[in-house]
Structure 1
Amino acid sequence: MTAPVVTTSTEKGLSMAFIMPERFDIQTIPRPTSSNVEIRVVEPRTLATIRFSGYMNEGSYRDNLERLNKTLKERGILTKGEPLLMQYNEPRTPPFYRRNEIALLVANDTVEEK
């Protein structure tokens, strides 16, 4: 797996997103077979992230989110919305090889055009 699976809490419960490779666009992406799956294009945005390894559990999530919030507060960076949890590895990956990230949307988002 090369792209993250992104999970976040919503008012309806847990939401999960799969990031598709760049070779797909809205016309060429495989169509879902379930009406519970929605295809959406997410516009560019600025995220503040913290990266860590190991198995995901409540404690590691909470500790890393606190570290990220503390660092952002110290630097005067404001965020908005719910945290995103990004996990990059399949379940059998050993903990020391696992890549996880927690991301927060930067409030004063200024995405530069390339």
Structure 2
Amino acid sequence: MGEQLEEPKYELLSKYDGFDLRRYAPSIQARVKTDGVGRRQSIGGFRRIAGYIFGGNASQTSIAMTAPVETWNEAGSEWMAFTMPSAYSLEALPVPIDDGVFLYECEGRDVAVLSFTGRFPPRKTEKMAGRLKTMVEQQGLSPTQEPILAVYDGPMTLPFKRRNEILLPVKSEIKV
């Protein structure tokens, strides 16, 4: 994705050996749910949300791309989400014309984060997610949902320069 893209705002709560604990601010996401899991579903989901932000909406308004693109699996389906630029409120965002794209208001959340570079085939992301889950539980934190893959760079970025993260929402007692 090369150019400097807006990213969700967060506060670093703690650095553990192997992962960070962040508190993300509330945000709005454009989301798509696809049937099944895999590369074909990911590409289809990406195109649908990209269509929305590139003018496939009721007012034909282009919306700035942000990073990362998030994907996760839930009940046999794959979800994909783009976080909307922070300048928008839910009411100010244009209505999607694709009825499979919907806007979701995300509450703030505490997230354990494991960063890595390179490609992200399913086997690798599952291994990284398992590692993060183990480290989180060893620290006495409780995951609140399945892991999320966060991809910051596009496919034209050289693999060793790609920034990726596994996000694991957790219940945290840390007060700030």
Question: Would you say same fold, with TM above 0.5?
Answer: yes
Aligned residues: 112
Partner of 1:37: 101
- Is the CA contact (8 Å cut-off) linking 1:46 and 1:111 kept in structure 2? no
Establish whether residue 57 from structure 1 lines up as the match of residue 121 from structure 2.
yes
How far apart are 1:12 and its partner, in Å? 5.3
Name the CA distance, whole Å, in 1 between partners of 2:130 and 2:154. 26
**Distance in 1 between the 2:161 and 2:131 partners?**
21
Percent identity between matched residues is 32
Would you identify which runs of 4 or more consecutive aligned residues in structure 1 move more than 4 Å?
A: 109-112
Higher relative contact order (CA 8 A, sep 6+): 1
* TM superposition shift of 1:109: 5.9
Write out per-residue CA displacement over residues 38-69 of structure 1, whole angstroms, 9 at most, x where no aligned residue: 11110101111101010110232022112212
The structure-2 alpha-carbon separation of the partners of 1:92 and 1:66, relative to structure 1 and needing over 3 Å to count, comes to same
More strand by share: 2
| CA RMSD after TM alignment | 1.8
Aligned-partner Cα distance in 1 for 2:160–2:133: 24
Question: Where does 1:22-33 land on structure 2 (aligned, <5 Å)?
Answer: 22-33=86-97
Output the amino acid matched with 1:104.
L
AA in 2 matched with 1:58: P
Partner of residue 81, structure 2: 17
Unaligned runs of 5+ in 2: 6-66
Per the alignment, residue 51 of structure 2 pairs with none
Aligned runs of 1:59-98 on 2, under 5 Å? 59-98=123-162
Q: Secondary structure of the equivalent of 2:144?
A: strand
- Contact conserved, 1:8 with 1:85, CA < 8 A, in 2? yes
Amino acid at match of 2:122: E
Counterpart of 1:38 in 2: which secondary structure? Answer: strand
CA distance in 1, matches of 2:112, 2:162: 20
Unaligned runs of 5+ in 1: none
Distance 1:73 1:39, change over 3 A: same
